[in-house]
Amino acid sequence: MDSKKLTKDFVVGNPLGIHARPASVFVQAAADFESEIIVTNLESGHIADGRSVMSMLMLSAPQGTRIRLEISGRDADKAMETLSRLIEGGFDE
């Protein structure tokens, strides 16, 4: 079994943080991958399932919040590449 675990930290850069639209965009992108996708708010300690909009909203991550993306699974490399680009691009806002 070819499974990887990748971790990368980010700072939420888009002006409104992770609100409904960015959470939805993130979850839609995460759905394309088999890997487990976990997002942690490094300031509050809240942990979210990257496949759940409600869970992502519960992160309470306004602009400037430090978050950690942890991805485990066979397609972790591609998932990390895609989701990193999304976060770093401000969720296309």
The residues assigned a catalytic role are: 19
CA distance 29 to 66: 20
15: which DSSP letter?
A: T
17-20: Cβ within 8 A, 24+ apart: 17/61, 17/62, 17/63, 17/65, 18/56, 18/57, 18/59, 18/61, 18/62, 18/65, 18/67, 18/91, 19/57, 20/53, 20/57
